[in-house]
A and B are shown apart, each in its own frame.
Chain A
Amino acid sequence: MNWRPDARMVPALGAVAVFAALCVFGAVAYAGFLAPQVFLNLLIDNAFLLIVAVGMSFVILSGGIDLSVGSVVALSTMLLAALVEKLHWHPAAAVALVLLAGSSFGALMGWLIDRFRLQPFIVTLAGMFLARGLCYVISIDSIAVTDEASTAVAQARLPVWGDASITVGALLALLVLVVGIVVAQGTAFGRTVYAIGGNETSARLMGLPVSRTTVGVYAFSGLCSALGGVVFTFYMLSGYGLHAIGLELDAIAAVVIGGTLLSGGVGYVAGTLFGVLILGVIQTLISFDGTLTSWWTRIAIGALLFASCLLQRLFELRRR
């Protein structure tokens, strides 16, 4: 058989290969690395990152960028904690409001980008300042979540098999991933996102709803950030304006390492899962090692980012 993968799949397959290689390395170097719980913990500890990165994948596939995600996550934790703890709202109502607020925030940025032909980089940068600043308008200090229903949800463990278990947040992240994959590959909206990322002018000339889709993409990213914020609140059991600083970089890095071209139009949402898992497994390896310090994580992520960008560039040159 002479199976050759679609050229567009090469970077994403590269991410899968890197993840597999890191796992093999971990299994050889450290005893106890191959336990199921180690891998489930990857999902549990990075659930919010996965959710945010799925939203970011759509933005990047459409040729844009969203720098506001980290701040929106922080604002969502703050809003949720304040509503539940200070105003004694029912957690479900508070979550609904937070999700609505996040998607409206994203939609507003998308509208500005589309209607006034502004650069996504600058608009979402301003959005980042705004959301981070609004956190401190709510409260300067951290708000602990002590509500009984909320802590019960946060501590619930769903058994997978044997002793291994996952949290509600991790399950939600997998759900968002599946929804993301289905929307990207199987709906008109997803195909329009790819078309805009490939060439916006052509997409417009083909009569595709470019404006509506652009607003939709940023609204979806805002929704994912808000949901990521909800999961993060339950993970940390607090709301704080200093939560998730620099998360936008991790999300962008995960998407790019997962094989999505930053110029838009090429990539897979499923690749993003492996981008997130690679970031997580690097952290796990460094903590298993014990002698390496946490800043090696950043250097390793930078090096991986460099390698995958170089790979993408080579691939771009070959396609011409």
Chain B
Amino acid sequence: MSLSYVSALRRLSGHRLFGPACTLLLLLAVNAALNPGFWQLQWRDGHLYGSLIDILNRAAPLIVVALGMTLVIAVRGIDISVGAVVAMAAATAALMVGGELVVINGVETHVSRFPMPLALAAALAVGLLAGLWNGLLVAGVGMQPIVATLVLMVAGRGIAQLLTGGQIITVYYEPYFYLGSGFLLGLPFALFIAGGLWALLQLALKRTALGLFVQAIGINPSASRLAGLPARAITLFAYVFCGLAAAVAGLMISSNVKSADGNNAGQLLELDAILAVTLGGTLLSGGRFSLAGSVLGALSIQTLTSTIYSIGVPPEINLVVKAVVVFVVMLLQSAEFRSWLRGLALRRSAA
């Protein structure tokens, strides 16, 4: 019996999600130890309420961006323009929704400037165009992904500021807030967006050959092209999806803070997304990727942030902790580091 227990444990620890899940559980345990009420969920005002729900709600935009980033990294790319795309999409939506004070039948109400579906569609179109631009530069022109997306990262924030006129645009139109801070069936609505996107992508990758193609391109782009895969089209699709995901995240973020800030919206989000993807066990060199891992990674980052808040150290020191986590994870991912550790252990046991 103990033997089967050991083999089950070994199989579990060999699973690719074992590391990311352990990281998240560890962070949750630290939180629970520091904050006795951490696991408590309350039913208040018709929805669930508690630290866990808060983490899930705040992590949702990062999950969405990390899903797109996973796909791009899986085809040996990287998209560092997602933060700028978030800012552009948020500015577009906030500009179009706006919210003008109108008096109807003696009641002051805020009315959107354009119908909200049109504003949402416009924001998504911005993301689509951004993704198309990045994808064409990488798959069409053949630029290095970092450089190709650097162009939009630099220019995109300028465009976002141009849209907002350098101001922070405040939104007054109530229905728009639902995206980022509304509740459905007692849970944050943002969670349904993130979950829906994940399910959609998971279905597309696992139920069709697309997942296999993506993996093949990530492992060897030339070989997969020679084998007859539409490598360029799939790479283009990855960037378009990533752009769309960033636009969705932009909508969620601006709806949550009820405004759009061309300069600061989505600041450093690209780095958080890449970090989430790396934490989830996806290789930055392409080929091996895990959507579930990226979701766990994004949740870990958000949990880490709230841990730091609950410890009571200044939130800015967050960055130091994040840096240490990145260093540890990337060293553990390196084959050279593992063999170096093994060498050290052997030398010690020999001595």
A residues apposed to B, CB below 8 Å: 65, 112, 115-119, 121-123, 125-130, 132-137, 140, 241, 249, 252-253, 256, 262-263, 293-299, 301-303, 305-306, 309-310, 313, 317
Contact = CB atoms under 8 A, between A and B. Distances in A.
A125 B326 contact: yes
Given A116-B334, A298-B154, A132 B148 contact: no
A313 B331 CA distance: 33
B326 A252 contact: no
B158 A65 contact: no
Interface string B135-159: 0010001111011101111111111
Interface residues of B, number: 48
A299 B162 contact: yes
Contacts of B321: 133
A256 B151 CA distance: 11
Most chain A CB within a 10 A radius of its CB, from B147, B322, B335, B337: B147
Nearest to A71: B319
11 contacts: A129-B322, A129-B326, A133-B316, A137-B320, A249-B150, A253-B154, A296-B158, A299-B155, A302-B152, A302-B156, A302-B158
B318 interface: yes
B318 to A, nearest CB: 7
Nearest to A117: B336
Contacts of A135: 316
For the complex of A and B, list the 5 residue pairs with the smallest distance between their C-beta atoms, beginning with the closest: A302-B155, A298-B158, A133-B319, A133-B320, A136-B316
Nearest to B262: A295
- Name the prevailing secondary structure of the A interface residues: helix
B157 A127 contact: no
Contacts of A132: 319
B336 A297 contact: no
A81 to B, nearest CB: 17
Interface in B62-95: 78
B336 A122 contact: no
Contact of B334 (A117, A121, A301): A117
Given A125-B326, A136-B317, A310-B141, A299 B158 contact: yes
B317 A302 contact: no
B302 interface: no
A136 B318 CA distance: 10
B215 interface: no
B290 interface: no
Nearest to A65: B146
Given A125-B274, A126-B326, A133-B323, A116 B155 contact: no
Nearest to A245: B267
Contacts of A298: 154-155, 157-158, 161
Interface string B308-333: 00000010111111111011001100
